[in-house]
Amino acid sequence: MTTSAMPVLTVPGTDEATAALADWLIRSLVPTVLDGAGMASAADDLCGLAPITCRHIARPRGLRGHERQVLRVIDSIEFALRRPPVRADTGEAPLDLAEELRPIPEAILDAAAHIGGTIADIGSPVAALANRLLLLAAIPIGSGWGTMTPEQVRAQATASYCSLLTYLWRHDPGAQISLKGAR
């Protein structure tokens, strides 16, 4: 086992597990990354959404309010990205986007993509939109425009993911955690 291994959770496809995963993505992981991007008010708006429950999974039309809020946040971050901020120390806009450090670990992005696909399969695009928001919010962080460094966001995102694993493992005895080596 390598030290860079990230635990991967395999859960039964129950409505309870799906709801917990979608809720984590929209109300925990995305706000964590938005905080790092300097969008604390947008993060607070997502945290303030109603928890996603089994009822939402059984009737995905109930996720429309979540979808509208995620779309509003996407619009605001896209608007902010059109006019990159000026660095205070040099007075110039940062230009080297190619060397950005990824603030979100690949295993977490993979889990978020899987959740997005699962929720899309039941009839709601909200988790796929949350994935888009994750990638958009990572741009200012990786470019040095955010309020946190990529390492800080990476640590917080990993802690959030590990707390999700712990929660699911505790509340769903059928869940399995396996370790995979880094790619």
**Statement: residue 148 has pLDDT above 60:** yes
Model pLDDT, residue 98: 37
Model pLDDT, residue 2: 44
Contacts of residues 55-60 at CB distance under 8 Å and 24 or more positions apart, as own/partner, are 56/19, 56/22, 57/15, 57/18, 57/19, 57/22, 57/122, 58/15, 60/119, 60/122, 60/123, 60/124
Query: pTM score, two decimals?
Result: 0.83
**Statement: residue 96 has pLDDT above 50:** no
**More reliable by pLDDT, 153 or 3:** 153
